[in-house]
Chains A and B, each alone.
Chain A
């Protein structure tokens, strides 16, 4: 039986600003965020406002920010696609799960899979890159599960908590994702369809959080 989900991906809106800022102001979240961990809340807010700003609809922006949303839990996390290249058909991807309660659930894996599907099936990309801190084992285990290859180990690349840490660079080619999808078709074939259905249903109903499985 295929997996169905109430989690979906949508474009980030300015109304998401307070939620995203709330996530990024927690020390735990910022530990995994690339950039200076000593940035002030004002600087973070300004950065996010710039991220959530609109590009003209008829152009491909350098970066796309999507919210991982759920009818049950509301906004769960942020998906960032950076350095999108039409010429190389590639981008780098970052996934942040802001809802702490869901970080050890199926949500990160589902969200990662949905993000890959979006990149390959909608943006028609050939390759996705992801840079993940070595201490963020849950994240790199997920991306390895989907078929990404650890291509680079950047030694002592980032400074956190007074220590240098390695950063892993993963690469996932379209052919590798297609192989993963074919091998797991019985679980994933209805995933995108259920996501779209759920998104439409949530958009048609008033906001109401429940204690249901995301």
Chain B
């Protein structure tokens, strides 16, 4: 009797579990639909022919697909797109390279005072940039770096340093002390240990750091709008200028928003797990 009871109990429990699993799927699927609703509106609008587009028919399926919207906005976006590539690539490379060195020192070659310096570096990651905008603009103008791309690269490198340092510090913390000590016994100094012990194992950390920095630089608006003149606008500023007013045709706004997002979406789709790890680092979770 008691074993029968136990059997019935198991059966009820497994039926409850199956019921719960289906319910989870239903909720998860519903949420996914909600998250994709804006994407649906974006895609169908961008792909409609310009004659067919009207704001009130935002949700209706296109009668015919067309790439005309992309053709008409691309010439206005192209320059900004190129500028953003020219800024985001060097900015992410330089700040990752510097972050690798900093991270190694802070993880494995702690000079006296390193414990004091690290939190001070971290703080730079969280400050509201409003609190440095005026001095930054003054300094960049004084140095003749306002207006062009090199000034924008410089500030992306500098304000990217806290997070790249953190990413590499967390990564190198996993490097066994014995390896570092063995290199020292062999007569290697700090730089040799960094170059021959730490760097060869660092590609995954570089992937996280590069992707994170590329995405931040690509998506930045505040520094771009303050520090560049019209010819050097990064994509976000160009986009806001094209699509950022109610007078702009709805279809052009959507098509340009999609074009401006392609690189980061591509990175996200292809290298999503590195993007995730960058996120965790940003929460100080290494």
**Co-assembled chains A and B:** no
Q: List the interface of chain A (C-beta within 8 A of B).
A: none
